[in-house]
Structure 1
Amino acid sequence: MGIDGRVREHDFLSSFPLSELHVSEELANLFAESAMPLLVVTEHDMYVRFFAQIRTGQRDALFIWCGSQDAHEATNWGKWLVSIFAAGLQAMEASRSFLNNHGCYYQKFWPDMEIEYKITITPDVDTYDLAVRLRNLVGRGQFSPFMWEYRDDFQQWDFDNHLYEIAEPPAEAGYISFIPDSLGTTVVKRKWFTTDAVVRKETKWLGVRLAGNYADHIEREFRVLADFVGAFRRTRFDVSLESISTGNVYAAMIDRCRFVGQNWPDLCQIELEYLHSRTLRSSAADTVFTELQWIKQALRSELDRLGVSYVEKPMSKLTYMKQMQGSTRTR
């Protein structure tokens, strides 16, 4: 099958409209009813690449790389074609647990680490408008080689967060926060750090049913001393994008935090975070920080174009709240 240039010449990720496939009218009618291509094969100088279908929409589909093979010159075109597609199907079968189960086609290279850059923006910015602008830039191809994360390019979040600081010992320093969810349970999030940084250790527990209050849970489950810092409501819009070259997925999270019971300025930030990778290849990990830097610079360029004031530094919510508490006490 020819693909009219819409399958990118990279090792990892490929997405294109099904209408771009050069197929017979009979096959086109079949696709429209109950069938679709499971495998795309692209030919290069002396080898072929196999792309397996993992997601479908009404008019398009997502294929990711699942293998390659040397392509010797064909003496019998029919036999060569059969052997190539047989090899492609074998490549799909070898990774079927990864490819054939919905949502299981991701891996996270550092599962217990958070990797994110923070850009603090002036609180008078319309965060929703900014998020939509960034989303549209990605959709128009202005962040190439990044595209919207397939069928999950924009998310909205609105939740409360109750934050407790752990100051000592240094090995346990950081914070624990509690986020009530819509089911009556709680998301418990813990981060370990002594200074704000791009990379921090992080663990989350979902659907936790608390036996007591937050302080009781910290003492019973974590056996550390923690001080309540404060609570805030976080409203966030996420623009998710993934690299066509590597399959790495990132999110630009534009958020506003309003602090409960305090007359502090809202904290508005763009958090650019590595989420996970839609790829079979571990070598994609080598490009994460380079890609993050590229996206960060593109975000800064857009903020400059819009005239938005910002400061780029890894300032956590904990640090901001403690700074505000300190300025309140000195007034």
Structure 2
Amino acid sequence: MARPTWCGCALSESLRTDLRGAWPRAAGAGSIDFLSPIMVLRLHGSPERTTVEVLACTRLREVGAVFARVAECEFPAGATPDDVVPVALKSVGNLREHVAVENQVFRNLVPGIEIENKITLHGDVSIWQLTSEMASQVGSASFPGFIPDVGNEVQRWEVFQHTFEVLSPEAERGYIAFQEQPSGAFMLKHKVFAEDTLRRVETFRHNLTVPGGDFAAFLDLEYPHLTVRALRTFSRTRFDVNLESSATGHFFGIEIDEVRTAGDEHVLRQAEVAYHRSRIHDGLDIATVEPELERLTNLVDSYLTRNGVDHERTFYSKLSFLRDIESRSGAASPTGR
């Protein structure tokens, strides 16, 4: 009879009851109550051999547990649990430092590079309604092969951003933006891209002090080789649906945001589908990042279509949005030397 295996942050009571009956000596010592999930064995049988994937427990949360593949073992066809379990127990410690330590389980495979598709949302779309409805579908047939980022399923962000377009030199075209932090300091975001595209160079500087809030003077001092022009300040409200590809271990965000320029309130709403990082596991492959990102983007596109949301696949950036406003109202003067 099938039993639920998990409840809160421990084994379910029904499973513990079964285990006490199966191992009365251990139950008498009370050790059944303190069992921790160790591994899941996934068996693939064929006439020639039995292949066993060893998945080690890597995250424990109230909503459940996550297991990551750390090894793959082969046995003769018809191997029994008595054959498989001792070997699996020896290999379950593989990649232990990237399984048992929470802040070591992920790695960004393309540091300094943003990989992101964009979908522009037309009309008066409620970004929170769209976020909450879409988040509830992760793990269902609407998003096959994806699971929530367990314990971090949805995030909320809000920033005020002061943006300067980099006009020259040609090799550094893009923008530099200052984002206000609650501490009063600023985070500087520097993106380099000649045109709106899938990949863009992206670097950050944190906890900056900008004397008097004079961003132009700061850039003139810190980036004297750049010619820049100030664009409109905007507020950005964003909700992230965080999810993981169960086949590849890559983490992505469906980042649904609303940008409003200060004062005149031009509005841009988008769903950005972005690569975040990858779970370190046996078989991790950087070549699968972009294909899985594209598959997820197509799923988001299909979801929006089914739910009647007017939208458009694009790489349209915040920089292009601000530039288009300037072109309609008169370009700002460049600064810098």
| 1:229-248 correspondence to structure 2 within 5 Å | 229-248=231-250
- Distance change in 2, residues 1:121/1:75 (3 Å): closer
- Distance change in 2, residues 1:198/1:282 (3 Å): farther
- Distance change in 2, residues 1:71/1:209 (3 Å): farther
2:100 match: 100
How many Å apart are 1:74 and its aligned residue?
A: 8.7
Any idea what SS the aligned residue of 1:143 has? coil
Distance in 1 (CA, whole Å) between partners of 2:65 and 2:306 is: 34
Structure 1 residue 71 and structure 2 residue 72: aligned?
Answer: no
Which of these residues, 48, 52, 55, is aligned with residue 48 of structure 1?
52
Distance in 2 (CA, whole Å) between partners of 1:132 and 1:297 is: 19
Q: Deviations over 1:160-217 (max 9, x none)?
A: 0110111101111110111111222221111001111111111122333345632233
Any idea what SS the aligned residue of 2:106 has? coil
2:98–2:104 Cα contact (<8 Å) kept: yes
- Distance change in 2, residues 1:234/1:70 (3 Å): same
1:252–1:270 Cα contact (<8 Å) kept: yes
How many Å apart are 1:273 and its aligned residue?
A: 0.5
2:195 match: 195
1:163–1:175 Cα contact (<8 Å) kept: yes
Any idea what SS the aligned residue of 2:144 has? coil
How many Å apart are 1:54 and its aligned residue?
A: 1.4
**RMSD value over aligned CA atoms?**
3.1
Distance in 2 (CA, whole Å) between partners of 1:141 and 1:173 is: 42
How many Å apart are 1:117 and its aligned residue?
A: 0.8
* Identity percentage of aligned residues: 26
Structure 1 residue 25 and structure 2 residue 22: aligned?
Answer: no
2:61 match: 57
Q: Deviations over 1:98-130 (max 9, x none)?
A: 222212211111111111111111241111111
Distance in 2 (CA, whole Å) between partners of 1:64 and 1:298 is: 24
| 1:114-129 correspondence to structure 2 within 5 Å | 114-129=114-129
- Distance change in 2, residues 1:184/1:241 (3 Å): same
Distance in 1 (CA, whole Å) between partners of 2:211 and 2:35 is: 51
Any idea what SS the aligned residue of 2:274 has? strand
Distance in 2 (CA, whole Å) between partners of 1:208 and 1:107 is: 26
1:259 match: 261
1:88 match: 92
1:173 match: 173
The aligned amino acid for 2:86 is V
Distance in 1 (CA, whole Å) between partners of 2:41 and 2:2 is: 9
- Distance change in 2, residues 1:34/1:207 (3 Å): farther
1:18–1:60 Cα contact (<8 Å) kept: no
2:19–2:32 Cα contact (<8 Å) kept: no
Comparing 163-172 with 30-39, greater Cα deviation is found at 30-39
How many Å apart are 1:78 and its aligned residue?
A: 5.1
Distance in 1 (CA, whole Å) between partners of 2:293 and 2:80 is: 47
If the length of structure 1 is used for normalisation, what is the TM-score? 0.84
Distance in 2 (CA, whole Å) between partners of 1:71 and 1:237 is: 47
Distance in 2 (CA, whole Å) between partners of 1:308 and 1:256 is: 15
Q: What 5-or-longer segments of structure 1 have no aligned partner?
A: 7-16
1:231–1:260 Cα contact (<8 Å) kept: yes
Q: Deviations over 1:201-260 (max 9, x none)?
A: 111223333456322332333332322112100001111111111111111111000101
2:185 match: 185
Q: How many residues align?
A: 315
Which of these residues, 227, 240, 251, is aligned with residue 229 of structure 2?
227
- Distance change in 2, residues 1:246/1:75 (3 Å): closer
Distance in 2 (CA, whole Å) between partners of 1:76 and 1:139 is: 32
Structure 1 residue 304 and structure 2 residue 305: aligned?
Answer: yes
The aligned amino acid for 2:165 is E
How many Å apart are 1:284 and its aligned residue?
A: 2.8
1:3–1:20 Cα contact (<8 Å) kept: no
2:157 match: 157
2:63–2:150 Cα contact (<8 Å) kept: no
If the length of structure 2 is used for normalisation, what is the TM-score? 0.83
Comparing 267-276 with 206-215, greater Cα deviation is found at 206-215
How many Å apart are 1:59 and its aligned residue?
A: 5.6
1:285 match: 286
Q: Deviations over 1:53-100 (max 9, x none)?
A: 1111236211101112222479997576434412333x2xxx232222
- Distance change in 2, residues 1:233/1:123 (3 Å): farther
